């Protein structure tokens, strides 16, 4: 009788946790969080700008949930009907600079902006860069969006990354020593997205080896990453 090879246990694939309770406040995101929770923005519009992994998308989800807003990626504007979107009354758009250079998308956002303004609605935009650096070709759109309130998010500091790492491990019901967090902080890419990926890889490797996550295991995982570069 042929024996089947043992199946390797796989780590649990967890969906992104993007609720307010899952957001970790820190000095680098405090102003943005305050503006999101306040909600009463000048002229009803706000732009969040910050590096990848700084928490912009998470903040968009928090606001969209609180305001029952429509959350879109900029790419969706290319085939969107501004009137139908504006009917929601509150709209959030992620990676908003993706419309730059696309005349149809820029025109759609221009009309959406005006429709929301006319009805007293709200428009929340997020991108890595401030509006002035998006490369918009429609002058009327550029001027209107540059007039919006802008809030910058900074790179996560050690305190925030440590809190996020601990929370991500806890979400997976994994207990890790403080020494592990101290080891990871100066060696990891400094973003929340990188923290999520790192915890996922450590969990997967620990399951594959049937060993707890340790500094030694983390060193091996990071070395494997270097070897693949």
Burial of 16 (0-12, 13-18, 19+ CB in 10 A): exposed
Cα distances (angstroms) measured from residue 124 to each of 25, 145, 221: 20, 10, 38
In angstroms, rounded to a whole number, what is the distance separating the alpha carbons of residues 30 and 154?
Answer: 10
Q: What is the secondary structure of 130-151 as a DSSP string?
A: -GGGS----HHHHHHHHTSEEE
Of 45, 101, 61, which Cα lies nearest the Cα of 78? 101
pLDDT value for 15: 54
Domains, the chain, in order of start with CATH, read 26-152 (3.40.50.300), 158-228 (1.10.8.60)
Per-residue pLDDT reduced to its tens digit, 146-159: 999 999 999 888 99
Give the mean pLDDT of 199-223.
Answer: 95
Structure tokens at 153: 């998010």
203 vs 20 pLDDT, higher one: 203
pLDDT value for 193: 82
Per-residue pLDDT reduced to its tens digit, 67-120: 999 999 988 888 889 999 999 999 999 999 999 999 999 999 999 999 999 999
Structure tokens at 28: 């680098």
- DSSP E strand boundaries for the chain: 45-49, 70-73, 90-94, 122-127, 149-152
């Amino acid at each position: 009788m042929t024996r089947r090879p043992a199946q390797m246990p796989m780590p649990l694939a967890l969906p992104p946790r993007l609720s307010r309770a899952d957001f970790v406040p820190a000095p680098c995101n405090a102003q943005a969080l305050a503006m999101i929770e306040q909600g009463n923005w000048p002229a009803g519009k706000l732009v969040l700008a910050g590096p990848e992994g700084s928490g912009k998308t998470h903040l968009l989800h928090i606001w969209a949930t609180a305001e029952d807003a429509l959350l879109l990626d900029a790419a969706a504007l290319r085939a969107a009907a501004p009137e139908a979107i504006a009917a929601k009354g509150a709209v959030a758009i992620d990676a908003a600079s993706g419309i730059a250079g696309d005349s149809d998308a820029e025109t759609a956002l221009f009309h959406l902006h005006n429709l929301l303004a006319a009805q007293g609605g709200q428009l929340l935009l997020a991108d890595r860069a401030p509006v002035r650096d998006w490369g918009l070709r429609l002058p009327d759109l550029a001027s209107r969006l540059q007039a919006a309130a802008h809030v910058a998010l900074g790179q996560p500091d050690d305190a925030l990354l440590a809190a996020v790492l601990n929370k991500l491990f806890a979400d997976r019901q994994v207990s890790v020593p403080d020494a592990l967090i101290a080891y990871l902080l100066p060696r990891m890419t400094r973003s929340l997205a990188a923290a999520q990926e790192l915890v996922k890889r450590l969990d997967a490797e620990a399951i594959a080896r049937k060993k707890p996550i340790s500094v030694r295991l983390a060193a091996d995982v990071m070395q494997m990453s270097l070897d693949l570069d």
